[in-house]
Structure 1
């Protein structure tokens, strides 16, 4: 089983409009609602990949109950800690030109009792899991070392853990040596103070990051694919050109596919190719954290993975 951790769950709303204009009333042409937070996007993709999944984290209030109801309807098993605070809502505005503007609420505070309850629940969940993903931000009231604690708990039981976060959470968590991290180029620049327009230096810094004790570093490069640094070597995978419909959730789709690849014991090359195919297929659908298997299969045959 693959377990996805989402401490800052959200109701995700996608608003489809013709054009975003300042100081005007905007009429929404269509609205899509999904259970959100990066880890829940991961959970949906894992299920679509055909693997057993469990979603965990914090939910609260009427909004949290609605998230659980949607997950139950999608037949995604879940086991949350219920808090007194209301689960947040995040909005993504998509216009006809393909522009995406996101409004992300910070997440209401959780208590020390909530955190203690989650740590106890998580201890039990690890035993049932083969791979665990930890994704996104944290709500107020949670210290920045929380992910490091979770990673240490997972590693103590010799399970695999994938981390996908940013900022101080990423800086503090990599010291716990997760199995895989998946920063994007901006996150690597912030972490290592390096520019991605200098490819040679960028690769060297990625190697240095992997040398800190992280088994595999996967750097998502957007339309340029992904760079992987691992004990097996250095690889670059690039997808074919596409006309994206909605790129939100593509990074989470890559995390999900990496988790599936770990569970299935794929080689680094096969795992990278699979992850890029799933991530790119997600960009061809309007629903965040979704893909069509026929799209993924077509893309898979067109992805070029090179050992550098």
Structure 2
């Protein structure tokens, strides 16, 4: 079973308006509310792929209860550390071909709550074979909190796929215990290294020479519509994807993580694993719902993804 961790979940609220007016009233007819957070998107796609998953993290208040209700409606097994503080809302206003986001920071966790989650996490590891950790840390937790989680997971011999950014990612990469896989994009690589990294293969290869990336078995560098650059141990791959009609790109990176995790769980070959990850990311972008894929289209697009080993 795959354990999908979301430390700072949210209710994602999407407002569609023809024209967004500042300092005025904006009336909304179509509202979409989703149990959100990167790890919950991962869990949702894993379920749609027919694999066993358990969603976990930290939730609180009436918003937290709503998230659990929505997960149960989608038949996503879950077990969260429950706190009294309220979980967060994240609002996206879709207007005139643009997306304006208003993101609450969420609850501030105490030292005791952080320790309580680690205890719960250690208990859950006994029944899973793969872990995904996605998204930001809640306020109150130290920036090296994911380092502790990765160390515990690797110590149990369970592979962990980490999809985060900023200081939380940097702390993990500077630590001795490295995750099994990471999924940065070129912007995140640029921020980590303090230098410009673009979608050029040579640029990415140069960036990945940095010592902080040593010891990571899989590094999947997202290149958006251009596909991905992937390093597996000593081998580099260029993965290209077909053009698609994008409806909602939000959550495509999470769907990519889900596809990678499922293919890894099923012990697929390198080529099949990478193609699966790319296809699930594409399928998410082709649907209106975040963390939603149409598996009926999987085989069609799987055949259109190309994986080329770079000498």
Q: Same fold (TM over 0.5)?
A: yes
Contact 1:134-1:163 at 8 Å conserved across structures: yes
Q: State which drifts further: 194-203 or 226-235.
A: 194-203
Give the superposed CA RMSD. 1.5
Aligned residue among 269, 277, 280 for 2:279: 277
- Give the superposition deviation at 1:96: 5.4
Contact 1:107-1:138 at 8 Å conserved across structures: no
Contact 2:131-2:160 at 8 Å conserved across structures: yes
Partners of 1:238 and 1:93 lie apart in 2 by 31
Partners of 1:19 and 1:75 lie apart in 2 by 36
- Give the superposition deviation at 1:155: 0.5
Hey, what does 1:80 align to over in structure 2?
A: 80
What pairs up with 1:206-285 in 2 under 5 angstroms?
206-208=208-210, 211-231=213-233, 233-285=235-287
The list of structure 1 runs, each at least 4 consecutive aligned residues, that deviate by more than 6 angstroms after superposition, is none
SS at match of 2:64: helix
What pairs up with 1:59-208 in 2 under 5 angstroms?
59-95=59-95, 97=97, 99-174=98-173, 175=175, 176-197=177-198, 199-208=201-210
Contact 1:235-1:269 at 8 Å conserved across structures: no
Hey, what does 2:46 align to over in structure 1?
A: 46
Q: TM-score, normalised by structure 1?
A: 0.95
Aligned length: 307
- Give the superposition deviation at 1:23: 3.1
- Give the superposition deviation at 1:279: 0.3
Hey, what does 1:306 align to over in structure 2?
A: 308
- Give the superposition deviation at 1:215: 0.7
Contact 1:209-1:217 at 8 Å conserved across structures: no
Contact 2:143-2:167 at 8 Å conserved across structures: yes
Aligned residue among 274, 292, 296 for 1:294: 296
Partners of 1:194 and 1:299 lie apart in 2 by 34
